[in-house]
Structure 1
Amino acid sequence: MTDDALGRPQVHALLADGTTVRIRPVRRSDHDQVRGLYEEMSPENLRLRFFTAGRASAGPAADRACAADRPGRRALLAETAGRVIGIAEYDTAGSAHSAELAVAVADGLHHRGVGTLLLEHLVSAARADGITSFTADALSENHEVLRLFADLGLRTTRRFEGPEVRCEIALDASDTYLSAVEERGRAADVASLGPLLRPRTVVVIGAGRTPGSVGRAVLHQLHSGGFTGRLFAVNPGAQAILGVPSYPAVGAVPATVDLAVVAVPAAQVPDIAEQCGKAGVRALLVVTAGLDAEQSEALLTACRGHGMRLVGPNCLGVSNTDPAHRLDATFAADRPDPGTAGVAVQSGGVGIALLDGLSRLGIGVSSFASLGDKYDVSGNDLLQWWESDGRTDLVLLHLESFGNPRAFSRTARRVTRRMPVLTVDAGRTDAGRRAAASHTAAAATRTMTRGALFTQAGITATESCGELLEAAALLHSQPLPAGTRVAVVTNAGGAGVLAADACAESGLVLPTPTPDLAEDLLALLPEGAAVGNPVDATAAVSEEQLTACVDRITRYGGIDAVLVALVPTAVAAATGDDLIRALTRAPGPRPKPVVAVRLEQALPMRLLPAEGGGTVPAYAEPQAAARALAHAARRAAWLSRPVGTVPDLDGVETARARAVVDAYLTAHPSGGWPEPRVVAELLDCYGIPQLPWAWAESEDDAVLAADRLRGADGRVVLKGHWPGLLHKSAQHAVHLDLRGDQQVRAAFRDLDTRFGNLLTGVIVQPLAPRGTELFAGVVQDEVFGPLVLFGLGGTATEVLADHAARLAPLTDHDVHDLITAPRCAPLLFGADGGGPVDLAALESLLLRLSRMASDLPQLAEADLNPVLATPGGVTALDARVRLLPRRPQDPYLRRLR
């Protein structure tokens, strides 16, 4: 997003056919173009828009649209190549929550999504202004505009009044609307990537005549790889390179170019991009590295201005192994084998390693993109491509950054229901962003934030490229296990012990066989076999016996997967038995995953062809096999759950909360930590339960408050307060267990004596009953959005670091996972003998905290510590929030980076 000269937001976004438009506020200087938009309409379209066929309405309509900004009115236009192609506007006419809507699209550009895109942006702006509904009048015969309103995904009601229709559109942010926006975005994204991944014409700019240049290497890969389209080079000093026709400039190429590969020095990249745009190129692949900030901005400006999608700069390239295209626009040494895995990376070196690994395993690649510095095309774009390309059934990602994590999360949640999505969690050790401002900020590391994203989206996150390929091999070749119960079978006791340890360390369970199963196995295996778990089949086991053993175990309902750890023995060699064949000779795929561990295997993993079709993964280490099975079990568990929903909450006063925040930021423009009364009012707006309290600025006030708040046991607490005080216990600014007026007075005097120059007052509360002290908080990540944290509370919360996190808004499943994830979770269910706490109340508190964070982007941090949980309820004993002046942004609004 960029801003115009007046600081108003403007964005680029994709139309339904994949072309790029700019959406921005209307300016006074747009008057002539807006008037021209109306005057160029056909008489019929003028009649449908203004209820009259005359062109006299064009001038007044342009006057209204381009008038000076005033409260309650907004107008947005869509433009491409400097031409206005559509306009949408609303006017509240003094109404607090409703506005009159109008929209118009240039003749010849209907049915391309211009009006829909404008309305999506107008809806987002209206919501930010507190508007809850649009009204619009249309002629009943104006089927296009009525369909436009109906297809938005918002609740629309119609009232017919003679030849006119009065439409009312509710602007609620329902999941139905978000899904509709998401589907339109997916279709537009896929259309825009066609010139990049299925180009009909490719030109390589910067291919040298002598070996050694990156451009020449890319041209060689395209040419020798049998690219099915037309291929050209641009080099002023050559008529042909590697047998490919060459021209002095891209504008001289005798064809409309879909994809231009740019491999020129960094200083030339912006000018080349502008030339490509003027020549009608539809996508750029910039492999050049080392662009400075000015060159980078000029490159992206050229791409946006001419509607070109961009991969890179500083990237390895893209490829598509589809036989209909055979596109290999990379400078990798080896060409990827065709297959079914979609791969997206930012690092070219990681990309080469993954391509090599997938080819070696026989999985192969459907399409590959090295995104480099990722100025435009992102992992989210490619997820949507693979979702619909008809060739991909497995996705591998190595992304070091996320442009719009919440949009990525929504896309990934959908895609992972259809195919496994695996990633390397890069940058796990970046804890440098940890802040000491509050418990919440201290806990919210980038590792925790990324982990929450991956967990909620169902993404399989690994710690290395090797682990990524381990999991990919199993997910590609075997059915998912129904659970974590694993049977280990081995022909060597030591190998079985190693495998059992590896399974336990990965969170897998090795159940003891039932007597019936044990009896059956003893009958199948050689004398001396041990049929516990691991099952030691002994070195004397034959191929036939091992086959029967594995088949019997896979039919047993108490086991979800089988790990077979084998070592070569002289006994098997003498008999000619091939124990590995016992796993691959099955007449068809087994109903449960079976994996092999071959300690003598030179390669880390292999996929062994099975006689009945498919493959069986074989690992060189039991830890690799166990990790892969654990990843598969987690994926199966995630898929088995229904899609979560964000629950409706009663008693939420969002408008009042926004007014509280606005009032505070008006008085404190740079933000800060509001005083307790402001914090309490914010929590009250969301129905978050708080322990009763009173504010006192004098000794007598403290005594009166204590008399009013004392419980049955007569004890109270005094907490000192001053601006910037964050950790009261660490500052010894808390007095507990105070009885009687004299103790209250003494406590107040102590605080006043020690902190007199700072102290602005004290908080008086009744002494809380016994219970489990928990911690709940929110931190707004500038990239990922609000993150809700939960765990063990009290003064040791940071020392123990027993926290879990999920990204807001929380669904019903997310909040359950959040409560059960910390190590302290058993305490909540009565593990200490005290009975379970009020789990429904705890879930409600976390959902309300999530809602507050989602509603208020100005809420930089919220820290509830401790939160007291008892069987009778949940209460926040202490709370702090930090507010910052932040403009709301709709994370689901369609826009390019």
Structure 2
Amino acid sequence: MVAERLYPQYWEADVVLRDGSTGHLRPISPLDADAVQAFHQRQSQNSIYLRFFTYKSSLSAKELKRFTEVDHVSRVAFVVTRGADIIGIGRYDRLDDPALAEVAFNVSDAHQGRGLGSILLEHLAAAARENGISRFTAEVLPENRKMITVFAEAGYEVERHFDDGVVELTFNIDPTERSRAVMEAREHRAEARSMETLLTPSSVAVIGASRSWGTVGYSLLEHIIDGGFTGTVAAVNPEAFELNGMVAYGSIGEVPGPVDLAIVAVPYDRVAAVVDECGKAGVKGLLVATAGFADDGDGLARQRALVHSARSYGMRVIGPASLGIVNTDPAIRLNASMAPLLPRAGGLGLFSQSAAIGVMLHAAATRRNLGPSSALSAGNRADVSGNDAMQYWEDDPRTRAVALYLESIGNPRKFSRIARRLSRMKPVLVAKSEVMGLQLPPGHAVRTTQAPGGALDAMLRQSGVIRVETTEQLMDVAQIVVGQPLPAGPGVAVFSNSLALGKVVADGAGAQGLDVVHLNAALDLETGQSIALPAFKAALQAALGDAAVHSAVVTLLPAAGLTPGAILPVLRECGDNAGKPVVACFTGALDAAEQVEGLGALDDAGLGVPCFGSPGAALAALGVVARYSRWRAGDHGEFAELADIAEDDAAAHLTGALDRVSDVGLARLDGGETGRLLASYGIGLVPSVSFETDVEAVEAAGELGWPVALKTVDEHLRHRLDFGGVRLNLAGAEELRTAIGSMRRELAPFGNPGLEVQRMVPPGQACVIRAIEDPLLGPVISFGMAGDAVNLLDDWAHAIPPLTTLDAAELVRTPRAGRRLFGYQGLPPVNVPALEDLLLRVAHLKERHPEIALLSFNPVLVSAVGLAVLSADVSVGNPQQRTDSARRALRD
């Protein structure tokens, strides 16, 4: 008999359906009996027959009791709700085989085709694995093709058996690479669709539209109309009959026809009521411009309630405190923002959080002629985030590059997964605060980090993200990746009409990792436009025709009769013909009317020549782009299939330890527990034995095999030869007894810590591997060379699982002291592949078992023939039910 568990609150989740709308998924409860009966009675006869293999007009009291009263262990059921109605039910019941459960679904006729079955299956599988179930079985009528398709397309290996008119399906529910890929693809399509609803509406209503010039409601309505929005616009204000030349409606419910996007600009205390009205009126999405949700004591609670209410009606929310959204697509022309004019159309997807940063980004982009494809200010980012925006821009053909200014990341592991995929198709630029993850911006309900410094940057680097420091640097890089093709390599041609300036630029190019293949610093531009430009054009074309040249930097001092406006078309033509990027720097220009920064020689698609006011900014931006291009074209490694891994055994070992965890505390595994856990992942731990007496020590050494090492068990002293914490190569009993006496005398000032003996291993380079479960980043793997390199110099490398083979290789090669592993000052190189394999196993262990709060291998001795883990410390804690797992869920 399996004991009933308390209601698992953490299983609740808001989910995005296939059509981009939302629903709320939660475990069923006895209070749902009436709603389940109502759900059943709304179903068609055919749906009831397919679910129960017979028709029944209503459920009996006994059936309702069985369906709604579950133990959340052997019998689990989830419902998906929209408002007060249940729109989908999924359940499993454990069978006689404790690892096998029967699963069944019932989806509302009115909501079929929205992917509810797939979502319910993902969440049921996650709950089942948590409860020790590894396989599902289902009986389905052959004509129930929709449900058969749900199982077949889930990414699992499904076995089919037909018997007595019923198809029996059985499959293992452990996540596979294919099932994860299927889940991510579905998540991507659903979230991209939800953003499409918000960014490409066919109808917009401004709630709180006002006659008062300068108010948010007045400005938003005016900007939408003046921008030439191609859809229908409605103004909602109960105190006005006419606004901006159109009829005003008293409430959103009075607006004729469906409303895709409602913009909420009402006073703070009216927002909740307006959201509820929008939900009842069938609005598809919300943009909340109203601020104030982080300004008082219960602001965040009200913000969460607002999002929960909106999602319960199927709506996504931008904001609160959003500056607005922009879509420059000529078929949309939406300027639902505080910017007075619709920007020029371009190829940059632009995301910001706070309104102030949004204003900075808009101003910087406008100065540089950088038109957005679409732009979004998330404000407090209570719902829609940068992750959602990236999902949309990945599929948007008008977006050539993505730029995000981030003050916090709500779900960094998901960000890493999406950014890594997107960066292989389009450049992703991120400007982030140096304190991001250390403190929270107003209104942002995310967790702060405890990860070591550099871990967040490592995550961005792994993902292929171009990280910059400021909005100006963001725009420097953006104008190259939006306006020009990517360079195929580091080779650069430098042109200038000043020998001194040309040499300075060439030196600067080398400092940015660019190879100067061609230098022409003797351009003569004083011969007049008719002579100078053709000669310059011929020289530039010849240089760009060289296969070793991948880009060109043209840095010019002012020349009589030749303005930037005359030169830029030549640069544009040469770059277009060669298919290579050309950037310009017009330094020393005094005429304020001349364009010296931003895109010049623009075409209708927003392509043009990037112009800079200083050579340093131009070279820095081009160097960044060249490095990104190399990353994108390079090998990213693969997720290796590791042998000798028994994930279920590891989970069983950890379950026992978790019983010792209380609240937020940690439980440390003893030596036996640690050894068994690591062995289940193919990681060997050199055995050691603690002792009290000399006799016990000699007996243990004999069992381990001579020679042995003698160590203190104190974690700070056990590796310190200088403090007497280690004795090596003890070959016999008498030598061991002498060493024990000597060590105890030397360690007396440190409190006489315990001692242990350990079998000796071949000498090698000492390394340290650590792993933590961070509240913000999830699992973080750190690697360094043991000793002063990490203790004093902080010479660590960090990475975020999952790791590819290339990630593991870079982790080993990143620490400065890591050169010792490859042969240094006469030392032989060590077995680096064995070290990389160990890092992959540790990353896999942390990725699959978030309950491992802390893990430390110190030291790992790596020699030419292999490696040995001499010491391992593992502590477990409450994994906080990590949400970025094999189930889709929106974060609060």
The TM-score with structure 2 as length reference comes to 0.89
- Cα displacement (A) at 1:224: 1.7
Q: What secondary structure is seen at the aligned counterpart in 1 of 2:109?
A: coil
The answer to whether the aligner puts 1:694 opposite 2:689 as a matched pair is yes
Residues 396-411 of structure 1 aligned to structure 2 (within 5 Å) = 396-411=403-418
Tell whether the 8 Å contact from 1:717 to 1:767 is kept in structure 2 after alignment: no
Partner of 2:728: 737
**In the superposition, relative to structure 1, how do residues 41 and 363 fare at CA in structure 2: closer, same or farther (>3 Å)?**
same
- Cα displacement (A) at 1:116: 1.8
Partner of 2:323: 316
- Cα displacement (A) at 1:752: 6.8
Q: Deviations over 1:412-439 (max 9, x none)?
A: 2332232222111323577689xxxxxx
| Long gaps (5+) in structure 1 | 434-440, 514-532
Q: Match of 2:699, as an amino acid?
A: L
Partner of 1:495: 501
Deviates more, 1:885-894 or 1:647-656: 885-894
Distance 1:166 1:232 in 2: 53
Among 373, 382, 386, which residue is 1:375 paired with? 382
Among 841, 858, 866, which residue is 2:859 paired with? 866
Q: What secondary structure is seen at the aligned counterpart in 1 of 2:755?
A: strand
Among 119, 122, 125, which residue is 1:120 paired with? 122
The answer to whether the aligner puts 1:417 opposite 2:424 as a matched pair is yes
Q: Deviations over 1:644-664 (max 9, x none)?
A: 432121122222322332222
Distance 2:128 2:26 in 1: 14
Q: Match of 1:737, as an amino acid?
A: L
Tell whether the 8 Å contact from 1:86 to 1:105 is kept in structure 2 after alignment: yes
Tell whether the 8 Å contact from 2:196 to 2:392 is kept in structure 1 after alignment: no
The answer to whether the aligner puts 1:264 opposite 2:255 as a matched pair is no
**In the superposition, relative to structure 1, how do residues 718 and 578 fare at CA in structure 2: closer, same or farther (>3 Å)?**
same
Q: Match of 2:873, as an amino acid?
A: R
Partner of 1:519: none
Q: What secondary structure is seen at the aligned counterpart in 2 of 1:824?
A: helix
Across the aligned residues of Structure 1 and Structure 2, the Cα RMSD in angstroms comes to 3.2
Deviates more, 1:235-244 or 1:247-256: 247-256
Partner of 1:528: none
Distance 1:151 1:321 in 2: 37
Partner of 1:106: 108
Q: What secondary structure is seen at the aligned counterpart in 2 of 1:586?
A: helix
Q: Match of 1:600, as an amino acid?
A: G
Q: Match of 2:543, as an amino acid?
A: I
Q: Match of 1:596, as an amino acid?
A: A
- Cα displacement (A) at 1:611: 11
Tell whether the 8 Å contact from 2:711 to 2:755 is kept in structure 1 after alignment: yes
**In the superposition, relative to structure 1, how do residues 834 and 745 fare at CA in structure 2: closer, same or farther (>3 Å)?**
closer
Residues 527-566 of structure 1 aligned to structure 2 (within 5 Å) = 534-537=519-522, 542-566=532-556
Distance 1:866 1:442 in 2: 26
Tell whether the 8 Å contact from 1:282 to 1:309 is kept in structure 2 after alignment: yes
Distance 1:429 1:40 in 2: 49
- Cα displacement (A) at 1:243: 2.0
Among 369, 382, 385, which residue is 2:392 paired with? 385
Partner of 1:151: 153
Tell whether the 8 Å contact from 1:720 to 1:751 is kept in structure 2 after alignment: no
Distance 2:727 2:634 in 1: 45
Q: What secondary structure is seen at the aligned counterpart in 2 of 1:221?
A: helix
Partner of 1:302: 309
Residues 227-266 of structure 1 aligned to structure 2 (within 5 Å) = 227-266=229-268
Distance 2:159 2:419 in 1: 33
Q: Deviations over 1:151-170 (max 9, x none)?
A: 22222121122412111122
Distance 1:699 1:442 in 2: 46
**In the superposition, relative to structure 1, how do residues 396 and 732 fare at CA in structure 2: closer, same or farther (>3 Å)?**
same
Q: Deviations over 1:457-477 (max 9, x none)?
A: 222211111111111111123
**In the superposition, relative to structure 1, how do residues 578 and 103 fare at CA in structure 2: closer, same or farther (>3 Å)?**
closer
Distance 1:587 1:30 in 2: 66
- Cα displacement (A) at 1:785: 1.4
- Cα displacement (A) at 1:612: 14
Q: What secondary structure is seen at the aligned counterpart in 2 of 1:721?
A: coil
Q: Deviations over 1:697-725 (max 9, x none)?
A: 334323433455565xx462312338xx6
- Cα displacement (A) at 1:802: 2.0
Q: What secondary structure is seen at the aligned counterpart in 1 of 2:160?
A: strand
Among 454, 462, 465, which residue is 2:468 paired with? 462
**In the superposition, relative to structure 1, how do residues 731 and 368 fare at CA in structure 2: closer, same or farther (>3 Å)?**
farther
Q: Match of 2:326, as an amino acid?
A: S
Q: Match of 1:718, as an amino acid?
A: K
Q: Deviations over 1:616-653 (max 9, x none)?
A: 32322222222222222222222223554321211222
Q: Deviations over 1:365-416 (max 9, x none)?
A: 1211100101111112112222233322221111222222222222223322
Residues 147-296 of structure 1 aligned to structure 2 (within 5 Å) = 147-291=149-293, 292-296=299-303
**In the superposition, relative to structure 1, how do residues 582 and 604 fare at CA in structure 2: closer, same or farther (>3 Å)?**
closer
Q: What secondary structure is seen at the aligned counterpart in 2 of 1:352?
A: helix
Q: What secondary structure is seen at the aligned counterpart in 2 of 1:652?
A: coil
Deviates more, 1:731-740 or 1:634-643: 731-740
Distance 2:69 2:812 in 1: 53
Among 121, 131, 137, which residue is 2:139 paired with? 137
Q: Match of 1:323, as an amino acid?
A: P
| Long gaps (5+) in structure 2 | 294-298, 441-447, 527-531
Distance 1:577 1:219 in 2: 37
Q: Match of 1:595, as an amino acid?
A: V
Distance 1:765 1:304 in 2: 58
Q: Deviations over 1:763-819 (max 9, x none)?
A: 323455443222222121222211112232224413222222221111122212222
Among 66, 79, 88, which residue is 1:64 paired with? 66
Tell whether the 8 Å contact from 1:653 to 1:685 is kept in structure 2 after alignment: yes
Distance 1:687 1:749 in 2: 35
**In the superposition, relative to structure 1, how do residues 577 and 106 fare at CA in structure 2: closer, same or farther (>3 Å)?**
closer
Distance 1:350 1:766 in 2: 59
Partner of 1:437: none
Distance 1:506 1:883 in 2: 44
Among 686, 704, 714, which residue is 2:699 paired with? 704
Partner of 1:43: 45
Q: What secondary structure is seen at the aligned counterpart in 1 of 2:415?
A: helix
Q: Match of 2:522, as an amino acid?
A: A
Distance 1:621 1:29 in 2: 68
Residues 344-743 of structure 1 aligned to structure 2 (within 5 Å) = 344-427=351-434, 444-445=451-452, 448-510=454-516, 534-537=519-522, 542-568=532-558, 583-586=571-574, 588-601=576-589, 605-609=597-601, 615-642=608-635, 644-669=637-662, 670-709=665-704, 714=707, 716-721=709-714, 729=720, 732=723, 734-737=725-728, 739=730, 740-743=735-738
Tell whether the 8 Å contact from 1:282 to 1:308 is kept in structure 2 after alignment: yes
Deviates more, 1:323-332 or 1:675-684: 675-684
**In the superposition, relative to structure 1, how do residues 449 and 258 fare at CA in structure 2: closer, same or farther (>3 Å)?**
same
Q: What secondary structure is seen at the aligned counterpart in 1 of 2:291?
A: coil
Q: Deviations over 1:725-771 (max 9, x none)?
A: 698649957233374123332245237744558x4x32323455443
Tell whether the 8 Å contact from 2:449 to 2:774 is kept in structure 1 after alignment: no
- Cα displacement (A) at 1:23: 0.9
Q: Match of 2:506, as an amino acid?
A: A
Partner of 2:813: 820
Deviates more, 1:838-847 or 1:556-565: 556-565
**In the superposition, relative to structure 1, how do residues 826 and 731 fare at CA in structure 2: closer, same or farther (>3 Å)?**
closer
- Cα displacement (A) at 1:27: 0.8
- Cα displacement (A) at 1:581: 6.3
Distance 1:320 1:662 in 2: 51
Q: What secondary structure is seen at the aligned counterpart in 1 of 2:816?
A: coil
Distance 1:612 1:566 in 2: 27
Q: What secondary structure is seen at the aligned counterpart in 2 of 1:800?
A: coil
Deviates more, 1:609-618 or 1:674-683: 609-618
Distance 1:70 1:377 in 2: 31
